[in-house]
Amino acid sequence: MGLQLDHTASHPSALVAILEQVSSFMDAGDDNAAIAALLSVQEPVRLDPSACRTLANLLLRAGRPQDAIFWFDAVLSMSPGDAEAIAGLGTACQAVGDLTRALQCCEAILVFRWKDADAWYDHGDVLARIGRLPESLVSLDRAIELKADHVPALTKRSRVLSVQGKVSEAVFSALRCCDLMPNDPAPWLLVGDILKEGDDLGRAISAYEKALTIAPRDVVCLCKKAQALKDARQKKLAVTYARTALRIEPNHREALLLCGGLEHDLGNEEAARACFLKVATSGAARNYTAERRPASFKALMLFSPLSGNTPYEDLISDSSFDTDVILILPDHHYDPQTISADTDVVVNLVSEADLGRDIIASLVDFADSLGKPVVNHPRLILQTDRATIAESLAAISGAIMPATVQVEAAVLRQILRSGAVTSIQTIVRHAGTHGGDKMELVSTPEELLAFAEEAGDQPLYLTDFVDYRSADGYFRKYRFVFVGDEIFAYHLAIGDVWKVHHMSTRMADVAWMRDEEKAFLEQPDRVFGAEAMATLDAIRRKVGLDYFGIDCSLDAEGQVVVFEVNASMLIHLHNKDFEYKTPHVMKIKDAFERLLQRRANEGKAPAPDLPQPAAKAG
């Protein structure tokens, strides 16, 4: 944004000397001094459109969009048709997240600049951010029609098409950027991102390799390829790219986090801890800024890279609050006052109570020491391992809670080899696993022994099997999410076998299954009925967490069959083929933000006045 004073304009005499100073400051590149000079004479500036516009543009360039809006408004109160001020106001409104007003500015600008590709791009960009994707594409296509090599419009068009699930069209648009920018890796990274989001990992890896041929020492390119290889379960190859990135930039935060995670997965604990410790000692591992400025509050999230955590990224995307995420490590300690100085609410993400108990236990005192409201306090998380949950929920009316015990694999092998067990039907799983990993239904002692032998020294869970198939022969697993005192339906998975997970079902190909899930999401109380919903609420109150999920089913009598209750369940916005789920995920996101806002307000509330002691008679 080039700034210059209108020297041809007629200014009040009081401004003349100041404007000469401002011009000198701007020529010297000292925007702050120019701003200070104009603010020192606000009254005459407010009456002069040219001076107002200059101040507004300077504030916008200085990263003060909220202040800039005031001065753009001042210009428009005097000159309603000032196109430059309208455009600047639109940019400032986008910066603070006021997209409704930003769109109004874009539409007003099109009246003046209807043949301007940049104006159509801005219009399409704001429409995309609002979520009006089909209209966004119309404006972006118009920008490209006016300027065939408009790379920002082609890039945004690719991203919009990708969100719509139109992967082939999105890739085609991105490839046009590759042709226009043959020496820039960014378009190939875009191609890779689109393919990766479309679960085409093989072609995504090839696209990232194309980017690396252009910029072989680019850390972002190296990390993108490493992440894609990790997702493709090629972790040994992935870690070589992550290590290369760190040799180039030893303090690159994302490379350290990625490399640390890969080293941990590969059993290289010392190398993993070194990566994570380097991140932790530098402060927050990740920072997320509010979609709209100023932020309504700030959250501090506690995350353990060595244990299981509440998936959080989609929960806080496009939120109205700022978030810092810090790493919790056994050998690193934060100063509570420093780390929480500007925090309004703390969110404990460390949620794996089966294998991460030591980490969670160490967090109890740390969370208390922060002196802020805590969501999902570690003290409560400690009570959510499978065995404890099974015991605590067993007596709830209307719930079937299968008995669950934890046993060391070596102990179980000894018992089975003794011949003490002659018949069995149980679900056996590795402690700390989710999503059906390392979990089987066994019907003979021999099957259980084979599982225990493969487990090595891992702790195992044994859970009574409940045949929960419906009258039509299908197995139905419902997931609800509890946020504060609210209950939200998240998904229904319908499968042909007892081990049901949404991603492994045939639901993407079977319309009646999707129709049934959609009906459940829209009216879960009609599916569960008043008594089962009351049972769910009783479970919510018994568990006591602020945020957690439950996987369950209904038996023939309408009782709730409980499979799993914890704060580790995945809630996400990637709903290709299941787009009807997205509005319900947004309800959960909105409720989560309201929960955090309430807790943040608790921390901000002034202490009540204490009664004063009565004065002694003199």
Instruction: Note the pLDDT tens digit of each residue in 227-248.
Output: 999 999 999 999 999 999 999 9
What was the pLDDT predicted at 21?
A: 87
Contacts of 174 (CB under 8 A, 6+ apart): 154, 155, 158, 187, 190, 191, 194
Residue 2: predicted pLDDT: 46
All domains in the chain, ordered by first residue: 283-381 (3.40.50), 403-464 (3.30.1490.20), 475-600 (3.30.470.20)
- Distance CA(270)–CA(151), nearest Å, equals 44
pLDDT higher than threshold 60 for residue 485:
yes
Residue 468: name the closest of 404, 380, 563 by CA: 563
Is 257 buried (19+), middle (13-18) or exposed (0-12) by CB count in 10 A?
buried
With beta carbons less than 8 A apart as the criterion, state whether 97 and 290 touch: yes
Evaluate if residue 502 carries a pLDDT over 90: no
d(CA 214, CA 212): 5
pLDDT band at 613 (very low <50, low <70, confident <90, very high): very low
Q: Is there a contact between 532 and 398 (Cβ–Cβ < 8 Å)?
A: yes
Q: What is the pLDDT of residues 147-163, one digit of tens each?
A: 999 999 999 999 999 98
Q: What is the mean pLDDT of residues 23-38?
A: 91
Of the pLDDT bands very low, low, confident and very high (cuts 50, 70, 90), residue 12 is low
Give the pLDDT confidence score for residue 615 in this predicted structure.
43
Residue 331 has pLDDT above 50, yes or no: yes
Is the pLDDT at 326 greater than 90? The verdict is yes
Question: Rounded mean pLDDT of 424-446?
Answer: 85
Q: What is the pLDDT of residue 7?
A: 47
Average pLDDT rounded to a whole number, residues 243-254: 97
Q: What percentage of residues in the chain have a pLDDT greater than 90?
A: 80
Model pTM score: 0.85
Q: What is the pLDDT of residues 89-140, one digit of tens each?
A: 999 999 888 999 999 999 999 999 999 999 999 999 999 998 899 999 999 9
DSSP-based helix, strand, coil % in the chain, nearest 5: 55, 15, 35
The HSE-up count of residue 594 (CA atoms within 13 Å, CB side) is 11
Quickly state the pLDDT bin for 472 (edges 50, 70, 90): very high
Query: Distance between CA atoms of 64 and 39, rounded to whole angstroms?
Result: 14
Residue of higher predicted confidence among 357 and 372: 372
CA dihedral 63, 67, 73, 74 (to 10 degrees): -120
Q: Are 229 and 221 in contact (CB under 8 A)?
A: no
Mean pLDDT of 56-81: 94
- Segment 375-382 mean pLDDT: 96
pLDDT for the residue numbered 4: 52
Q: Look at residue 460 and give its three-state secondary structure.
A: strand
Q: How far is CA 403 from CA 240, 461, 477, 534, in A?
A: 44, 10, 19, 22
**Residue 431 has what pLDDT?**
87
Amino acid at 610: L
d(CA 89, CA 82): 11
> Binning pLDDT at 50, 70 and 90, where does residue 611 land?
very low
pLDDT at residue 435, as a whole number: 65
Residue 397, pLDDT > 50, answer yes
Chain mean pLDDT for the chain = 92
The secondary structure of 113-136, three-state, reads CCCCHHHHHHHHHHHHHHCCHHHH
The string of pLDDT tens digits covering residues 191-204 is 999 999 988 999 99
Over residues 62-88, the mean pLDDT reads 94
For 568-588, the pLDDT digits (tens) are 999 988 887 888 999 999 999
Residue 11 has pLDDT above 90, yes or no: no
Q: Burial code of 73-86, b = ≥16 C-beta within 10 A, e = fewer?
A: ebbbeebeebeebb
pLDDT at position 8 over 60: no
Give backbone dihedrals phi and psi of 122, rounded to 5 degrees, phi first: -55, -40
- Residue 13 — pLDDT band, cuts 50, 70, 90? low
Read off the tokens for 530: 């008043």
For residues 261 and 95, which has the higher predicted lDDT (pLDDT)? 261
Q: How far is CA 543 from the centre of its chain?
A: 25
